[in-house]
Structure 1
Amino acid sequence: MSSDLDNFVGLSSALTGIPTDRLAPTIDQVGLPSTFLAFITPRITPEVLNTLLTQYATLAADHIPPDQIAKAVLMDGSRPAVTQTAQAARSIMKLWLLGVWYQPYATGSYKSTDSTVVSDQAYIQSWAWKIAQAHPMGYSEMFFGYWNTTPPSLEDYTGVPANDQGASS
């Protein structure tokens, strides 16, 4: 039986298209998955989170492909779903990509207009930077003059192979 953290990482992978071993590497010095899960639980409510993770676990146990899991969570037929679970899933996608939590709906003391940078590491390690093959202003792990060399391929950053139909690396 998978834990909530495992299901959260699996769901996040299905939603973003980023492999689970990239979202939650074996050696993880930052620990974003557990930070994100703890952060969002009170904001979407444990009930909505449990529904979302159970939906993911059920579909994954049935060997449904990740893109179909994402479609089941996010869509209502050919239209975007407006359920709280779908809204929470969209905010989870933004959280991984931007490091910012956009409150999907009002609950408790949280308003639907709230947005919060979860932590400095969430912002620095957000996937938008990796996908853009860039880094946040004022922070870089690269050496002086790195901009003078050809960057690694997008596949090196994301683990997702480039293909003819998408952006090439």
Structure 2
Amino acid sequence: MSSDLQNFIGLSSALTGIPADRLAPAIDQVGLPPIFLEFITPRITPDVLNALLTQYATMAADLEPPDRIAQAVLMDGAQPATTQTARAARSIMKLWLLGVWYQPYATGSYKSTDSMVVSDQAYINSWAWKIAQAHPMGYSEMFFGYWNATPPSLEDYTGVPASGQQGALS
């Protein structure tokens, strides 16, 4: 059986559409997945987290495609689900995309209005920057004058082919 971390990465991949090997590469110098999992566990409660991970693991074992897994977690028929698991899943998506945790509901000492940047690395390495082919203000690993060259394709950053998608160039 898969570990909680592996199921968290798989669930995150299904929710964001970003391949698991991009969220958690074999050689990972930053190591966001375990940081994120440890951070969210008390904030969504272990019960809600276990429900999410069990739902993912069961559907993945049944070879359900990622889009169906995401739909099962996030939707109630044609409407967005309002369950704690669905709200937690939406916050997990935002965490990966923005590096910011938006508390989905009140629990313990955490209020539903709470939000915070998890860490500087979570913010710097958030997927919104990669998807936008940009970098946070004041931080870049690029060389001086990089803006004069055509950037790599979006597929190079995300691993998701852009061909056939309206508005996406690659």
2: CA distance, partners of 1:113 / 1:60: 33
TM-score, length of structure 1 as denominator length: 0.99
* Structure 2 SS opposite 1:90: helix
What CA deviation, in whole Å up to 9, does each residue of 1:102-145 have, x standing for no partner?
00000000000000100000000000000000000000000000
Q: 1:137 matched to which residue of 2?
A: 137
Q: 2:59 matched to which residue of 1?
A: 59
User: CA shift at 1:168, angstroms?
Assistant: 1.8
2: CA distance, partners of 1:120 / 1:49: 24
Q: 1:106 matched to which residue of 2?
A: 106
Q: How does 1:1-169 map to 2 (within 5 A)?
A: 1-166=1-166, 167-169=168-170
2: CA distance, partners of 1:163 / 1:156: 13
* Structure 2 SS opposite 1:133: coil
2: CA distance, partners of 1:142 / 1:160: 22
- Unaligned 5+ residue runs, structure 2? none
1: CA distance, partners of 2:163 / 2:39: 35
Residue type of the alignment partner of 2:89 = A
TM-score, length of structure 2 as denominator length: 0.98
- Unaligned 5+ residue runs, structure 1? none
Residue type of the alignment partner of 2:169 = S
Runs of 4+ in 1 over 3 A off after TM superposition: none
2: CA distance, partners of 1:114 / 1:55: 26
The count of residues paired between Structure 1 and Structure 2 equals 169
What CA deviation, in whole Å up to 9, does each residue of 1:74-114 have, x standing for no partner?
00000000000000000000000000000000000000000
2: CA distance, partners of 1:58 / 1:132: 33
2: CA distance, partners of 1:27 / 1:165: 30
User: CA shift at 1:17, angstroms?
Assistant: 0.3
